[in-house]
Structure 1
Amino acid sequence: MAKSPRWAALLALMLTLITALATVLPAGSVHADENTDANSPVAGQTFRIATDTTFAPFEFRDSTGEMIGIDIDLMRAIAEREGFTVQIQSLGFNAALQALSANQVDAVIAGMSITDARKQVYDFTDSYFQSGVQRAIAKDNTEITSYDDLAGKTVVVKTGSEGETYAKSIQAQYGFEVDSVDQSSTMYETVKSGNAVAVIDDYPVLAYGIAQNNGLKTVTDKVPGGDYGVAVNKGMNADFVTAFNAGLASLKADGTYQSILDKYLADPSANASGQGSFLQLAQQAFPALMIGLRNTLVITAVSFAVAMVLGFAFGLLRVGKSRLLNGVAKVFVAVFRGTPLLVWAFFFYFGVPQLIGRPVNIWVAGVLTLALNSGAYITEIVRGAVKSVDPGQLEAARSLGLGYGKSMQRVVLPQAVKIATPSLINQLVIMLKDSSLLLAIGFGELLYQGQQIYAANFRVTETLLLVAIIYFVAISLLTWLANVVDRRINR
């Protein structure tokens, strides 16, 4: 089939505009300086480290998008001290553990408590922080003063955290329900919205959030808890563990370790970024959100181009004469249209590496996820459009001596493309919005960047409003552009 000139022109224009937006992302690597420890077992090596930058003050992003926090500073200081290089990748906590299991990364540092259950799966470094938990309620709540007041009510905790472990250990004693969510900021919003009466969280995280004016207040003393450690896969990266432990001991001996803690814990309000007007928030968030918008547009354009190729190819197979090829196209549509997009994102980024024995680039995983899913829908759009063309058109072309292929190319497909154009534009808009699901594997699209911002400043509603405005403007402009190109080509 010859390429449709109208859609070739549209895609070319989209890619040109997106390329004009592209800039180079700052590297997430930290390199050792010249004064490295030559005796370190990992000197000169590079390690991929996963983290969860929604866990301030241990790991979060500042207003410029730079990863900071106790864990980040500590890892960078130890890497410099021991002479190795780290490439830090921001994922959600659960996604970070899946990336570790898939050997996409070498270690996870994310305020991770060392527990007996986790020791069955991971090896840990020495403890770098002794934590504890504390309970907080909404600032204007005067009814909840003790654990006894929680009977019959809901307490929110973060999945996989020490707060969740503690809450479940006392749940039966005090008779409350436990609701587990994936982010600290989500916990606090749940309490503020009245969907839970209290939160039990790691006390440094809670103290930082309160200093950021997250709308809560503590009502109980800290409960001593467990230890945080860096996790590696069982039986792997023993030299990294040894080097981390040596570097940690060295930092403690010369006072660097304590200075890192004091930077974030002595005065949590010193790192506060939650104050200011909405316009000030927009100004601070704009650079990071534009990076997210650029990534969203680029992966949408690339994925849509691939999806168009797949959709037209399988669409023609669906209307072809071969039963075998028609069956192949049917299976393609059934598989990718009948399964959730998020399942494929996890499969391509975490599952495939375990099958092929090597990491998969996150852009590749994202494009495969979006393109295959959208390609299945475009297949049915193409099939429907071809079927909508009057069969007499094909018969007339054949009667004039044109073969089946030429008749489809010269007569049927131009009309089918015109019929399919509105649905294809709609599919492009759907794909742009669906790209937000890739935040689950740590892809830095627009919603992911917004998530990183409100994880540090706890201004969830305002940040999401900014994200929604940018999505609306981007989708409106994209739809307008597609319609303009369509009108000029199809008139």
Structure 2
Amino acid sequence: MIFFASFAGSLIPSAHAAEAKKTYVIGTDTTFAPFEFQDANGDFVGIDMDLIKAIAADQGFEVRIQSLGFNAALQALQSGNVDGVIAGMSITDERKQTFDFSDPYFEAGPMMGVAANNDTIKSYEDLRGKRVAVKTGTEGATFADSIKDKYGFTIATFDDSTQLVDEVKAGGSVAYFEDYPVLAFGIAQGNGMKTVTEKEPGGSYGFAVNKGQNQELLQMFNKGLANLKANGEYDAIQAKYLSADGTAVVGDKLSKWDVIWTSMPAFIKGMGLTIYYTIVSLFFAFILGLIFGSMKVSHNKVLRGISTVFVDIFRGIPLLLLVSFVYFAIPQAFGFTMQVWLAAIIALSLNAGAYVTEIIRGGIQSIDKGQMEAARSLGVPYQTAMRKIILPQAIKVMVPSFINQMVITLKDTSIMSVIGLVELMQSGKLVIARTYDTFTVYLVMAIMYLIVITILTKIADRLERRVSRG
């Protein structure tokens, strides 16, 4: 009887088991090691990543991590495209006006780093008349701004932590300020930097949600954090990435060939996605171009005016601004969420569609007007004459321009990394955040872009010759 009851109970799921776990979209930076970065397997790891996953497991919900970059993550939170942000985010009074924060989960503090071979910068006094690099929104940026007048230096602001190191290596700045674990991680990775000052007092990191929203998620984070601290898992997560004295815990330094080899799957996947987004965007761009291009050569002034406005708007707005407006501004204004891939395709399609419109207009108008007049005099309807006489000839003229637009759109996909779209450029940024080997990663990506664009150009050239002969 007991066996039967147990067996029957195993077949009938409990109400709790039957209830699907709620999934929250969590925005993050993933270029802020050791708090958030991507490992060689493509998994998001780090103190923040392990912490939010452990809290989710403890509290019975699911998380979907969206890599955006710090500034983009905050904008995505404000627009409602993500439910919360965990990205080494300092709790400040100013931010409390916009966001609700969890209990603090890490005590931070900024430090100054300089090039390992720099023996002239030993204190803040040595910064007088020089330039230093900071990352937007960090403790380091706040601290540098608070002492810049006293020590007479200027500030250059960047979006990624790895860019600070690259800026100092390039000689644009003599030093950089960064939160001490991030700075220590880079030095341990052999990024060519060193510290010359002690850690300054800093604020605390917290998990953030929009003010007055997702309070259940915030409460679960606090409860889970308390549970992890009580059972020792919180300390274990920190010990995985930081030693007791605050220095970084990292594996063996990878050689350049190891960096290339371990990162190649990410590069190949990124290039595949780059080509995919290019093809999809050009498909919709061609439809838009065909519609508005036909309108632009129409005899109807209203249609020509609408087409002209379309071209002027989407050819006149920079693509970076356009995709930011589509992904951040529109959802915030109208109260809905948008997927990153959808925002990227919309922006790329509108931008390329404006140029394709002009390509089609130019191709149609390049055909002698006498051909249309002759067709019309023979009683051929305008649409039929356009479809069977004008367009077949115009396409031959348009092909070189279409090829050029294809190459431009493929390269423009790299701009989509600002909203966290994972394509080749974003894949490279994630690798750099882990390895600090900027030269090798950018060189590999440049070669991959060159190979793919060359292949596509050769294929398109052959297609052009075949069309011309036809």
TM-score, normalized by the shorter chain, greater than 0.5 = yes
Offset, 1:489: 3.4
Are 2:132 and 2:156, in contact at CA under 8 Å, matched by a contact in 1? yes
Distance 1:43 1:166, change over 3 A: farther
Counterpart pick for 2:100 among 123, 132, 135: 123
Q: Which stretch shifts more, 450-459 or 241-250?
A: 241-250
Give 1:341's match in structure 2, choosing from 319, 344, 347. 319
Q: Which of these residues, 344, 347, 350, is aligned with residue 372 of structure 1?
A: 350
Displacement, 1:47?
A: 1.3
Distance in 1 of aligned mates of 2:248 and 2:230: 27
2:56 to 79, 98, 102: 79
Q: Structure 2 CA distance, aligned partners of 1:52 and 1:452?
A: 10
**1:403, 1:118 → 2: CA distance?**
64
Q: Is 1:107 paired with 2:84? A: yes
Change (3 A) 1:450 1:268: farther
The one-letter code of the counterpart of 1:275 is L
Equivalence for 2:168 = 191
SS at match of 1:360: coil
Alignment deviations for residues 255-308 of structure 1 (CA, whole Å, 9 cap, x no partner):
1111111110119664346521x3222111111111111111111001101111
| Alignment partner of 1:425 is 2:403 | yes
User: Displacement, 1:45?
Assistant: 2.5
Q: 1:136 aligns with which of 104, 113, 132?
A: 113
* Alpha carbons 1:63, 1:273 under 8 Å: kept: no
Q: Give the match for residue 159 of structure 1.
A: 136
Equivalent residue for 2:310? Answer: 332
8 Å contact from structure 1 (residues 112, 161) kept in 2: yes
3-state SS of paired residue (1:223)? coil
Q: Aligned pair 1:292/2:294, yes or no?
A: no
CA distance in 2, matches of 1:43, 1:131: 37
Gap runs ≥5 in structure 1: 1-37
- The code of the aligned residue for 1:227 comes to S
1:275 paired residue among 254, 258, 262: 254
1:363: which partner in 2? 341
Q: 1:414 offset after TM fit, Å?
A: 0.9
Are the equivalent residues in 1 in contact too, given 2:58–2:224 (CA < 8 A)? Answer: yes
Cα distance, 1:126–1:485 mapped onto 2, change above 3 Å: same
Give the letter aligned to residue 419 of structure 1.
Answer: V
Contact (CA 8 Å) 2:36, 2:45: kept in 1 or not? yes
1:88: Cα distance to partner? 1.1
Q: Spell out, residue by residue over 1:378-411, the C-alpha distance to the aligned partner (whole angstroms, 9 max, x if none).
A: 1111111111111122222223332222221121
Whether the aligned pair in 2 keeps the contact of 1:273 and 1:456 (CA below 8 Å) is: no
Task: Find the partner of 1:54 among 31, 37, 40.
Answer: 31
Amino acid in structure 2 at the alignment position of 1:451: K
1:246 paired residue number:
223
Amino acid corresponding to residue 130 of structure 1 in structure 2: E
Q: Which amino acid aligns with 1:288?
A: A
Normalised by the length of structure 2, the TM-score is 0.93
CA shift digits 1:450-482 (9 cap, x unpaired): 001001110011101111111111111111112
For these two proteins, the number of residue pairs brought into alignment is 451
CA distance in 2, matches of 1:207, 1:43: 41
The partner residue of 2:210 within 233, 238, 244 is: 233
Closer/same/farther in 2, CA of residues 162 and 135 from structure 1, 3 Å limit: same
Is the 2:91–2:204 contact (alpha carbons within 8 Å) kept by the matching residues of 1?
yes
Deviates more, 1:301-310 or 1:401-410: 401-410
Q: CA deviation at 1:487?
A: 2.3
CA distance 1:228–1:271, shift in 2 (3 Å): same
For residue 442 of structure 1, the aligned residue among 420, 441, 462 is 420
The one-letter amino acid of 1:145's match is: K
Which residue of structure 2 aligns with residue 19 of structure 1?
A: none
Structure 1 residue 341, shift from structure 2 partner: 0.9
Residues 34 and 248 of structure 2 are in contact (CA less than 8 Å); yes or no, is this contact kept in structure 1? Answer: no
Q: Whole-Å Cα distance in 1 between the matches of residues 231 and 72 of structure 2?
A: 35
SS for the counterpart of 1:49 is strand
Structure 1 position 313, deviation (Å): 1.4
Shift of the alpha carbon at 1:367? 1.1
Give 1:208 deviation, angstroms. Answer: 0.3
The residue type equivalent to 2:155 in the other structure is V
Amino acid at match of 2:254: Q
RMSD: 1.6
The amino acid that maps onto 1:347 is F
Q: TM-score, normalised by structure 1?
A: 0.89
What is the deviation of 1:104? 0.8
